[in-house]
Each structure stands twice: as C-alpha cells, then as structure tokens.
Chain A
Amino acid sequence: MEVKILSARFDIDNAHRIDVARTHGAYRALDKLFAMAPAEVIEEVKASGLRGRGGAGFPTGMKWGFLPKDTGKPVYLAVNSDESEPATFKDRYILVRDPHALIEGIIICCWAIGCHDCYIYIRGEYTSQVKILQAAIDEAYGAGYLGARVAGRDFRLDVTVHRGAGAYVCGEETALLESIEGKKGQPRSKPPFPAVVGLFGCPTIINNVQSIASLPYIIANGAAAYRAYGTEKSCGTHLFGISGHVERPGMYELPLGLPLLEVLENVAGGVWKGRKLKGVIPGGSSTPVLTPAEAATVTLDYESMAAHKTMFGSGGIVVLDETVDMVRLVENLIAFYHHESCGQCTPCREGLGWMLKIVRKLLAGEGTVADIDLLRELCDNIEMKTVCVLSAACTMPVRSYLEKFRDEFEAYALDGGSPQPEQREG
C-alpha cells in the first residue's frame, strides 16, 4: 500500500546533506520550473489537485490565486512548521530526513507567487530538527539555490527560520504571523485574510511543510502523475502518522483514499495485543472520533471523512483499543486545548477551563448527569463564537465522545467510578 513520493529519500543515509540529496534527484525540478511562467506554475499546482496538508485541506493552487495583483508590496511565504497538534508527527520527518525537498518546494512556491522572502516558522520544541533544517538551508545558500541568484537565475530568494516559543496556537496561521512579527502569538480576526493583509501588513501565503514539500514531484513529473494517486477530490499521497494501540506505529506514506481499517491492519499491523478496537481518531486530536462501525466504512480522504462527520485533518491516526477510558481521554484532550488557548477571546479562555473542571468533577465521582448535559451544551456555546478555531478543535471532538460514548460518562456520574475498572491498567 505504501508509496514513496514525499518519502522517496527518507531511507537514504544522509539525505539531509545536499550532495546526497542531489544525487537522488533534489533540485531537479528547477530547470523545468524556471522555464515556466509563474502563472503556469500556479495552474499546474491547481491541476494537481494538491490540498493543504496543514489540516484544513484547502486547495493550494487556489489559495495562491487569492493574492492581490500589483499591490506594490512584497509578497511573503510563511511555511508552517509548527506541528504541535497531538498525534501529528509527519512534518518533522521532512525536516530531518529530506529538508532539501522543502527548500526546493519553497523555491517553486516563491517563483509562482513572486515572493523573495520566505519564513519557516518552526515549533520551539523542535530543537534537533531546527539544526538540521538550518544546516540544509546554509548548504542551499552555499550551492546557490538560495540567495541573490537562485540556481543562477535572475531571482532572489532568502529563507529565514523563525523559532516559536512553544505554543500550539502559533500553528494557527495568523497567530503564526503575529509571532514572526515579534508579538504575542494570538490569532487575528479575519477578514482581512493573510493573502491580502498578512505578514507586516503585506500579502502572505501560509502553507504547511508537507504541502510545500509535495511541489517538487508535481513540477518535475507533472500534475497528471500526481493525480494518478488518490481519489478525484483527494489527490496524491499523504504522510500518515499512525499511533496508539497498534502493533506497528509509525509514519507511512500512502495514497489518499485507502480504507482505514485495511491500512490499520496491513500497514500498522492491527490493534495491538489482539485487543478489540474501540475507536479511531482519524486526523489529529482535533478531529471527531470514529466508532469501530464508522471506521469500517471510512476511507482516508477528505470526502469520506466529511461524510462520516469528521475530518481528514493532519493524517495523524490514533487507534484506541477497548481499554481506553474515554472520559480520561476527554480530560486529557481538554487539558491540552485549555492550556494552549491563547486566552484572547472570552468563550475559549473561560469556557475550556470550565469544561475541564466539569470533566475532572466527573472523574472524581462528584459529577451528575446534568454536568454531562452542561458539558455538551458548552461545546455548542463556545464553538464558532471565537476569534479562531482552536476552541472548535476542542469542542468538536469532545462533542463526538459525548455523543458516541455517553454511557461511559454516565457511568462516572451515576456510579462515581469508571465503567471498566478492571481493565483500566491496560
């Protein structure tokens, strides 16, 4: 099932070094790139069907097309390498194992959108990753792929790595921009959208690391070659981070559109210890959970996930076996989002803390059924009332657990204890 497009050089020793990367095809798309007009590049990316790999799945070429023309202002590219969502660990592989794919992708994007200054915003905790990335950038400068004349062309491109201070919310694109500008990382109200008013008030494109790293293949081999993988609306391949209760957790590149259970079975070795499946988080902690029945029919693409009332997200799949205490899981989930709330807007700042305390009250055996209803209601009261969707990234999954596993919450409320106490140590 696995394919090797993004991960083609992942298993090659020292592929993070430019000489090694080049012998294995890095920077080969550039001759073709500079023979194309920027508008042609955008068309090619549109035709490839590439969708943003940061979680929302917005078509990449279309996003580039939103840049206003001839504003007289510089255009910026901000590469989102914040990767802080629980269960998401794909971009780090690119940074460490093939940083030159990212740099080559950056050159392609910047040529297409007319950008000469790119920022890579990297998660603060990625300390070893940032060293490898920076070393690769330095090499690319040395080899003439970055700097005043990219690959000998009359095209300047500078890339700056900006390290975050360790805030999940800075992965939200406008908080990311604030952070690069040196301010407290909190999301901006939209509109205006960054394509119009972004970094330093200038038109800005924000793309995920994997989105950008997908570009060299598309340019080198053409849109049709990319579309050959995946489904009609979910084209190409994706890096899936599979974790949780499986035999072979890890990062796998797969074409989009495969049946979830088959992937778990054939690629990740199935639920560990021969246990029963209880649920699957399909695309990072912010995506609503799937029951085993739903997991049996869903395929790994944007359309099928939407049809199952969840989201493809970031491709971070978490397998939950029968021992998982969903109430504890929800506590963990809310604790994370509560901790990461930037605290700017009222519903998220106050509401997530309240939700967390209610779940803890349930866990302490002091909760009531009315508390469960209140928790459910708070999800509605908070969601979409806020400046950014961090709050929804918490309430959407919480609502799904409350709906799909309500009996477990009620068991805490009524009995004052876990529904499966004997299995909890699992």
Chain B
Amino acid sequence: MAETVKLFVNGREVEVEAGKNLIDALRVVGIEIPHFCYHPALGADGNCRMCLVGIEDGRPPLVPACKTPAQPGMKVLLDDQKIRKIQRDIMELELINHPVDCPVCDQAGECRLQDYYMEYDLQDSRMRVPQVTKGKRMDFGCGVVHDQERCVLCARCVRFTRQITKTGELGIVNRSDQARVTIFPGRPLNNRYALNIVDICPVGAMTSRDFRFKQRVWFLQKDEGICHGCSTGCAIYIDHHREKNGDDVIYRYRARTNMQVNGYFICDAGRLSYKRENENRQDLTLVDGVVVDFEQGIAAALEKMNKARRPLLLVSPDATLEQMWAIKRIATFYGATLSGYSDAYRIDDDGDDFLISDDKAANRYSLELLEIDRDRESFQAALAHADLLVNFDNDLFFSPINESLQRLLGEQDRISVCSHQLPVFSGSSVILPCASPSEYGGSIINRHGVLQRFRRAVRRNADPRDILEITHLLGGAISSAERAWPGIRQSVPVLRSVEPEQIPVEGLLLNNSEERDVGP
C-alpha cells in the first residue's frame, strides 16, 4: 500500500490509503458506504447524497463521502443511528417516483436501488400522491434502451460520454423532478463503447437491447474471462446459464475491472462477441463429408498425418500460449512446417487510442515469443509445396486480404480443426470440431505484453475438445496446459521464471518493457 493514514470509523481505528476518498479508502478495509453517483472512473459528482456520512466535530458535520478525502484522525460516523436514518430518508426520496416493480425490471438482482432498499430502507412507501411519470423504452442508439422512470439522475452515463468517449451524446435536460437524461433530437449515441453505460448505470434505467429480458440475472453464472476480440485482451465476465435439459448458453459479456489492461470498460464489439461462442459452431466431425464419431475423425487425421511427406501446420493467433506450444511440439514430431501466418486478423485504422486495436488477434505476442513464423511469403511457399495442410482454427479469411491465396488452397489435402464453420475449412477431407475460448483455459499475452490467465467457463453439451487435447490425441506429448509450462519456460527467456498459478488477476507485465510492436 502507498502512504497510509489512520482514522476512526464509529470509534474503531482503521488504517487506509492516503489520498483516496472515504468510499474507496474504506472499501479496502471492508467498510461499504452506499453510493449511486460516484464511480471511480468518472469521479465524484456529489448529486445522489446517498454517501452522506457524519464527521464528529467536523464542520460541516455531514459530508458526502465521495467528495471527502480520508484524513488522519478523522472521526467518521457511519453505522450511527443518525446516519442510518439519513440513508433511509435519502432512499425514500430516491424511491418515491420510482416504479415499484422490481419483478419486471431487467436490472433486478444487480440493482443498487434494490440492494440499498433491502439494506437501508425496508419500509412501506409513504407516498400517497401521484408519481411523476416519465418515458419508457427510449431508443438511445447503439443498442442502449433507456427507461426514464427508473433513472436516479446520477449522471454517470452523461459523464461517461463526456469524460470517457468524449462524444457527449447524453445530457440532462430540465430542472426539478422534470429532469431527464436524454439525447439531442436526432443525435443518438454514436460511439464504440456505448454499452458500457448499461454496466455503469446503477439501476435499470439503461438496458441493452441485446440482453434485456432474455434472462434473469440471478440465474446467470458469472465467470471471469478474457475477450478475444482484439489484441487488447480486455478482462470480462462471461455470464452464462444452462436451462434444464438445455445447453450451456452465454447471454452476455460484461466489463471486468483490470487496471493493467482495460480499466473499467470494454468496447461494444468485444462485448457482443459472446454471440460468436453460441453461433455458427462446428459441432460435427466429418471425414470426406460424412459424419463420423470424433474418434474416427482423429483416426483419419492420424492416418493422413503419418502418411504426409510435406505437412504444413497452421496455428491461430488466437490460440493460447499453451496450445501454440503443443502445436509447435507436434510440428516437430511430424517434421512439419509450422506457420502462424495471420495477416487477415489485422484491420488497418480500425483501432483507436483507447482500447480497440487494429490487431484482432488475441495472442499474436505469443506467436512471436515462441518464434513461430508469421511471414506471408514463407506461408505461401509452404502452401504451394505441402501435400497436407492441418489448420488449427486459423481463419485465413477473417478479412479479405487473403483472397489471392484461395487458389493455392485445395491443391493439397486438408485437415481442419475448427471451432466455427468457416469458409476456409470447407472442402477439408477431415474436419474436427474444437473448443472456442470460453470452453477452455490458458494464457494469452496482449499487445502491451500483459500475460493473463483464464479458466474454462462454459461446458457445452457437445463438449468440443480443447485444441491442446486434440494435439495430444494426434500424438503430441502435451496433455494439459500445465504440462506445457516446463517446455515453455525452457525455450522462452522472458517466461523462464513465470509460475502460471501465481499470475495475478490483473495479469503479469512481461519484462516491464515498453510496448513492443509485434510484427505479423
């Protein structure tokens, strides 16, 4: 911890980090102060008044915790009757014009208003006069739907568009209880991060058109994951659920705070990329177009690989470090050429100076660390020369730049190990389905050299195999991600002392070097 200060909360002495406001400082020592408008990424606004705490001998005696830095010797009153009453009073005022229909609200289960009501209020409404009525289901653009009636006017969403995206599409118009969050007429939300508003809205006033009313949140299992949408590798939550007798289905991704990688937010494309995990999946094993058992598929692949004289193995830049290592090992085993050619995963000028990267590959950095060739010329040469191409889930046609390669494909026999039904694999003599990122675990390194670990989140009924497991079935020596590490450590100097189990949640910044430009 940085510099600390000692202060008192309800008479108890606590030691907290200096320079933080009371909400953040006390949270670290397990003391929660209720709040709506404060958000660490957006700063303190001071409008909700939910965080009012007492300061004994203080002037003024009542202060908003979000605007009050922790100071030495400060005597904070929190659980005191007087403060509890104030919290209840503020909650009451927050609720008088709020619809009392949590059961039909999409936010129920993850709503601050609901939680605080249970914690601080828990009284029947004393409101015996008509409520203020407001708009419902307002389309704010970018898939954000606003339910004005549920809004507590905390202005988080407004501040997000002003401070984070700097697009300023939202504002609060009118005064008094006529105040409303809104867009300018005909100027809806128009930025690539707009759905974060749904995450940061503390109540059910900002909903995602994509998610709303699809699933009750308390049914969702929330696992930690990493977005594979680009080389930033944002930390996410994978929210999924298995209906009785159904399959495990992912309903949404949400931003997970990781100060070393993405801060508090993720981009909309990454957020919606959960759909990829559910859609267009390759579930069947095919040999010469005929559906067979997975084991039969493996046998067919083995036979072809053993026979091939000039096999070429193609690895995906989305594969984990461990999967790449395992593929590299079987390439050696079969005396095959190995390529990580993946120019198609770059989309020039698509990135920005916030999170989105031009490079849509999640783990190109590891290709470089494992010294897997990424050159187009050599891939093309190898392709022309090969009698068997084994493609481990590399989507050569992710972007159109490889159209000219199309004619080179098909001149050799092809085995495709794939998670999705992609054009590049059609025409393969053997197709083996494999797992997609939410269905396996491993390590990836983002464009800034941050090594993050993730675990398997989803277990689908079809239970596609991890690529690493497939390499093992194809004769490789690596049977699990853990087993890959001794070899990785030995051959990659910067990973020499890395213990995968000890990688912090926020990831490990490799060799503390400046950002490196990872070439293709």
Interface of chain B, helix or strand or loop or mixed? loop
B129 and A361 contact, CB distance less than 8 A: yes
A162 within 8 Å of B (CB atoms): no
Asked whether B249 is an interface residue with its Cβ less than 8 Å from the other chain, the reply is no
Q: Does A420 count as interface, using CB distance less than 8 angstroms?
A: no
In angstroms, Cα B127 to Cα A358, docked, is: 9
A345–B129 touching, CB < 8 Å: no
The chain A residue sitting closest to B126, CB to CB, is: A374
Q: Is B241 an interface residue (CB 8 A)?
A: no
A385 partner, pick from B49, B153, B177, beta carbons under 8 A: B49
Q: How far is the CA of A354 from the CA of B172 in the complex (A)?
A: 21
A367 (CB) vs chain B CBs: closest residue: B128
On whether the beta carbons of B93 and A343 are closer than 8 Å, the reply is: no
Seed contacts A346-B50, A346-B90; 12 additional CB < 8 Å A-B pairs: A340-B175, A341-B177, A342-B176, A343-B177, A349-B153, A350-B94, A350-B96, A353-B177, A374-B126, A384-B60, A384-B62, A385-B89
For A360, list chain B residues within 8 Å (CB): 129
A–B Cβ pairs within 8 angstroms, 15 of them:
A184-B172, A189-B46, A338-B176, A339-B175, A343-B176, A343-B179, A346-B50, A346-B93, A354-B96, A354-B129, A357-B129, A360-B129, A381-B92, A381-B93, A382-B93
Minimum CB–CB distance from A176 to chain B (whole Å) comes to 15
Q: Is B130 an interface residue (CB 8 A)?
A: yes
Say whether B47 faces chain A, with CB atoms less than 8 Å apart.
Answer: yes
Q: How far is the CA of A98 from the CA of B400 in the complex (A)?
A: 77
Interface presence of B67 (CB below 8 A): yes
Among B48, B92, B175, B179, the one with the most A-chain Cβ atoms within 10 Å of its Cβ is: B175
Give A357's nearest chain B residue, CB to CB.
B129
What sequence of 0s and 1s flags, for each residue 340-376 of chain A, a beta carbon within 8 Å of any chain B beta carbon? 1111111101111110011011000000000100100
- B93 x A347 contact (CB < 8 A): yes
B-chain residues with CB within 8 Å of residue A382 when the two chains form the complex: 93
A386 at the interface (CB under 8 A from B): yes
How many residues belonging to A are interface residues under a CB distance threshold of 8 Å?
32
A371–B49 CA distance with the chains assembled, in angstroms: 25
| Interface of A toward B, CB cutoff 8 Å | 167, 169, 184, 189, 338-347, 349-354, 357-358, 360-361, 371, 374, 381-382, 384-387
Complex contact B129–A386 (CB within 8 A): no
Q: Are A343 and B130 in contact (CB under 8 A)?
A: no
Q: Would you call A353 and B176 a contact (CB within 8 A)?
A: yes
Q: A341-B176, A343-B176 are in contact. Are A385 and B52 (CB under 8 A)?
A: yes
A338 to B128, CA, bound (A): 18
Closest 6 CB pairs of A and B: A343-B179, A357-B129, A381-B89, A189-B46, A353-B177, A341-B176
Residues on B with beta carbons closer than 8 Å to the beta carbon of A353: 97, 132, 176-177
* B152, CB-defined interface residue at 8 Å: yes
Q: Which residues from 46 to 80 on chain B have a C-beta closer than 8 Å to any C-beta of chain A? A: 46-50, 52, 60, 62, 64, 67
Interface residue from B49, B60, B62, B126 paired with A346 (Cβ < 8 Å): B49
Checking A351, A371, A384 against B128 with a beta-carbon cut-off of 8 angstroms, the contacting residue is A371
Select one of B64, B86, B172, B177 contacting A189, CB under 8 A: B64
Inter-chain contact B93/A342, CB cutoff 8 Å: no
Min CB distance A352 to B, Å, is 7
Q: In the docked arrangement, what's the CA distance between A332 and B473, Å? A: 83
Q: Which A residues are in CB contact (< 8 Å) with B94?
A: 346, 350
- Whether B49 and A339, one on each chain, are in contact in the complex, defined by CB atoms closer than 8 angstroms, is no
Contact (Cβ within 8 A) B172 A385: no
A189 touches B67 (CB 8 A): yes
A174 CB to nearest B CB, Å = 12
Closest-by-CB residue of B relative to A359 is B129
* Complex alpha-carbon distance, A244 and B89, angstroms: 36
Q: Nearest chain A CB to B8's CB is how many angstroms away?
A: 22
| Contact call A167/B97, Cβ cutoff below 8 A | no
Asked if B178 is at the interface (CB within 8 A of a chain A CB), the reply is: yes
Does B179 contact A349, Cβ atoms closer than 8 Å?
yes
Return B423 CB to nearest CB of chain A, in Å.
53
B404 within 8 A of A: no
Chain A residues near B60 (CB-CB < 8 A)? 384
Asked whether A167 lies within 8 Å of B175 as measured between CB atoms, the reply is yes
- On chain A, the residues within 8 Å of B44 by CB distance are 189
CA distance A194 to B300 in the complex (A): 79
Nearest B residue to A338, CB-CB: B176
**In the complex, what residues of B have CB within 8 A of residue A340's CB?**
175-176
Tell me, yes or no, whether B174 is within 8 Å of chain A by CB.
Answer: yes
- Establish whether residues A387 and B97, one from each chain, have CB atoms under 8 Å apart when the complex forms: no
Q: Nearest Cβ distance between residue A360 and chain B, in whole angstroms? A: 8
CB distance A343 to B174 under 8 Å? Answer: yes
- A381 closest partner in B (C-beta): B89
Q: Do A349 and B176 touch across chains, with their CB atoms under 8 A apart?
A: yes
B64 and A346 contact, CB distance less than 8 A = no
Residue of B nearest to A344 (CB): B47
CA distance A343 to B153 in the complex (A): 9
Give the residues in chain A near B50, CB-CB below 8 Å.
346
Q: CA–CA, A213 to B315, complex, Å?
A: 81
Q: How far is the CB of A228 from chain B (nearest CB, A)?
A: 35
With A354-B96, A374-B126: A343-B172 Cβ-Cβ less than 8 Å: yes
- Asked if B49 contacts A343 (CB within 8 A), the reply is no
- Report the Cα distance A381→B94, complex, angstroms: 12
A339 to B64 Cα, complex, angstroms = 25
Q: Give A22 to B176 CA distance when docked, in angstroms.
A: 46
Q: Which residues of B sit under 8 angstroms from A343, Cβ to Cβ?
A: 153, 172, 174-179
With a CB–CB cut-off of 8 A, which chain A residues contact B128?
361, 371
Within the complex, what minimum Cβ distance (angstroms) separates A266 from chain B? 41
Nearest CB in chain B to that of A371: its residue:
B128
Which residues from B are CB-within-8-Å of A169? 175
Q: Is the CB of A350 within 8 A of B177?
A: yes
- B179 near A345 with CB under 8 A, answer no
Within 8 Å by CB of B175, from A189, A341, A350, A386, lies: A341
Q: How far, in Å, is A2 (CB) from chain B's closest CB?
A: 39
CA A387 – CA B89 in complex, angstroms?
A: 16
Cα-based distance from A351 to B172 in the complex (angstroms): 19
Give B94's nearest chain A residue, CB to CB.
A346
A385 touches B179 (CB 8 A): no
Q: How long is the Cα–Cα vector from A349 to B47 in the complex, in angstroms?
A: 10
A349 CB to nearest chain B CB (Å): 5
Residue of A nearest to B97 (CB): A350
Name the contact of B48 in the complex, choosing from A338, A345, A371, A381 (C-beta under 8 A). A345
- What separation, in Å, do the CA atoms of A338 and B176 have in the docked complex? 6
Residues of the B chain whose Cβ atoms lie less than 8 Å from the Cβ of A167? 175
Contact of A350 among B46, B93, B126 (CB under 8 A): B93
**Cα–Cα distance between A378 and B86 once the two chains are bound (Å):** 11
Q: Is the CB of A339 within 8 A of B176?
A: yes
Quick one: which of B76-107 are within 8 Å of A by CB?
Answer: 86, 89-90, 92-94, 96-97
Q: How far is the CA of A349 from the CA of B93 in the complex (A)?
A: 9
| Nearest CB on B from A9, distance (A) | 38
> Looking at A338, A354, A357, which has the most chain B CB atoms within 10 Å of its CB?
A354
Q: Chain B residues with Cβ under 8 A from A342's Cβ? A: 175-176
A341 to chain B, nearest CB (A): 4
Q: How far is the CA of A339 from the CA of B97 in the complex (A)?
A: 17
Residues of A within 8 A of B130 (CB): 357
Residues of B within 8 A of A361 (CB): 128-129
Give the chain A neighbours of B96 by CB distance below 8 A: 350, 354
Q: Does B49 lie within 8 Å of A347, measured CB to CB?
A: yes
Q: Which residues of the other chain, B, contact A189 by a CB distance below 8 angstroms?
A: 44, 46, 64, 67
Inter-chain contacts of A371 with B (CB < 8 A): 128
Name the CB-closest residue of A to B62.
A384
Other-chain residue from A349, A381, A384 in contact with B177 (beta carbon distance below 8 A): A349
Q: How far, in Å, is A362 (CB) from chain B's closest CB?
A: 11
- B86 to chain A: closest residue by CB: A385
A279 to B178, CA, bound (A): 33
List chain A residues, Cβ under 8 A from B127: 354
Report how far A340 CA is from B175 CA in the complex, Å.
Answer: 7
CB distance from B183 to the nearest CB of A (A): 16
Rounded to whole Å, the gap between the CB of A368 and the closest CB of chain B is: 9
